[in-house]
């Protein structure tokens, strides 16, 4: 605000000197004031376009990581115009849970965040980059917020600022533990199984062709072989068995809603459910998931029917 006030004052003073030079016939005053006015005009125009066609890009090669993983992370600044940037400053807040490592890291005014602060001069059509790494320390969906950019003219007379909104994120998965570490027996982690297999025909495993028998579904008829043999022929499939596992997860850690929740107990619940889900996936179970928690950007409880996907 103070700088803008003095800039306005200088412009008025220069205009006044131009008028005085014209009416007084003082060539020196007129020449200097006109030159000063031209400089101010150039600086003003430069400042107006200084942040045009400037891109700030976060390069995140891996947006989904597990706790403890360290992944590369970099930011790039592109000046996509023929006018150089004599000075440009950027402030980019990163959640402290991502444990950012690299140059120019400062404490942030935002809660639970650190700031990447860069100052540079960028030539026309130039790209500069800064390299970092992040180490995931806490599970969750971590949004990377807006970037504040400021710049100005080559003479330092004017300033301009803008904010670039982004949708960048890093998703940190829960820690996966061995089932015995959770107190679950390794021999029968899902408890006793009911005897008797649920046998069904797996249409992805074709066994052969045979003559049609009463009761065979029409969708198993092989019309190509039927035409060749002049009698109905049906496909046969391998038999297989499947087990469905339904994982029900409650994210309530207190007996009463108004008591809030325990972050420690919630992380234990999430880690345990993720570990069981990982085991079921490795063993080929059809896994379903139900929870009274809500996913990001939704207000409905999570419900995923049992499947192998």
DSSP for 85-152 reads EEEEEEEEEEEGGG-EESSSEEE-SSTTEEEEEEEEEE-TT-EEEEEEEEE--S-EEEE---EEEEEE
Quick check: 40 pLDDT over 60?
yes
Query: What is the H or E stretch that residue 12 is in?
Result: helix 2-24
Q: Do residues 111 and 145 lie in contact, with contact meaning Cβ atoms separated by under 8 Å?
A: no
pLDDT value for 125 = 93
Alpha-carbon distance 264 to 85, whole Å?
48
Please give the residue that has the higher pLDDT: either 184 or 70: 70
Please give the residue that has the higher pLDDT: either 293 or 196: 293
- DSSP symbol at 221: B
Quick check: 271 pLDDT over 50?
yes
Burial status of residue 196 (CB atoms within 10 A of its CB: 0-12, 13-18, 19 or more) = exposed
User: Mind listing the pLDDT tens digit for each residue in 118-155?
Assistant: 999 999 999 999 999 999 999 989 999 889 999 988 88
pLDDT value for 238 = 63
Alpha-carbon distance 262 to 143, whole Å?
23
User: Mind listing the pLDDT tens digit for each residue in 175-213?
Assistant: 888 888 888 876 666 665 544 444 556 565 677 888 888
SS3 of residue 171 by DSSP: strand
Please give the backbone phi and psi of residue 88, each rounded to the nearest 5 degrees, phi first. -150, 135
Please give the residue that has the higher pLDDT: either 82 or 253: 82
Q: Which fold has domain 54-173?
A: Immunoglobulin-like (2.60.40)
Total residue count of the chain as it appears in this document: 309
The residue extents of the domains of the chain are 2-49, 54-173, 179-193+243-307, 199-241
pLDDT value for 7 = 57
Q: Is the pTM of this model over 0.75?
A: no
């Amino acid at each position: 605000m103070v700088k803008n006030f003095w800039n306005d004052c200088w412009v008025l003073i220069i205009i006044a000197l131009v008028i005085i030079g014209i009416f007084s016939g003082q060539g020196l005053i007129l020449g200097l004031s006109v030159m000063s006015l031209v400089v101010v005009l150039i600086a003003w125009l430069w400042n107006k376009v200084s942040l045009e066609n400037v891109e700030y890009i976060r390069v995140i090669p891996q947006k989904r990581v597990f706790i403890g993983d360290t992944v590369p992370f970099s930011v790039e600044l592109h000046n996509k115009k023929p006018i150089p940037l004599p000075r440009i400053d950027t402030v980019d807040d990163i959640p402290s849970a991502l444990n950012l490592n690299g140059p120019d890291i400062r404490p942030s005014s935002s809660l639970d965040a650190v700031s990447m602060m860069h100052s540079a001069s960028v030539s026309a059509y130039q790209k500069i980059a800064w390299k970092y790494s992040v180490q995931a320390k806490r599970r969750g969906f971590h949004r990377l917020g807006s970037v504040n950019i400021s710049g100005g003219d080559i003479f330092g007379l004017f300033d301009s600022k803008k904010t670039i909104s982004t949708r960048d994120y890093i998703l940190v998965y829960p820690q996966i533990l061995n089932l015995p570490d959770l107190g679950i027996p390794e021999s029968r982690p899902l408890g006793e199984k009911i005897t008797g297999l649920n046998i069904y025909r797996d249409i992805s495993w074709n066994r052969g062709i045979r003559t049609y028998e009463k009761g065979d579904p029409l969708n198993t008829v092989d019309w190509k072989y039927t035409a060749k043999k002049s009698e109905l022929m049906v496909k046969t499939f391998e038999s297989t068995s499947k087990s469905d596992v339904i994982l029900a997860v409650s994210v309530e850690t207190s007996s009463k809603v108004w008591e809030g929740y325990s972050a420690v107990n919630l992380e234990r619940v999430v880690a345990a459910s993720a570990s069981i889900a990982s085991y079921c996936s490795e063993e080929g179970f059809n896994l379903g998931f139900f929870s009274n928690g809500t996913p990001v950007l939704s207000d409905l409880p999570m419900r995923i029917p049992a499947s192998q996907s």
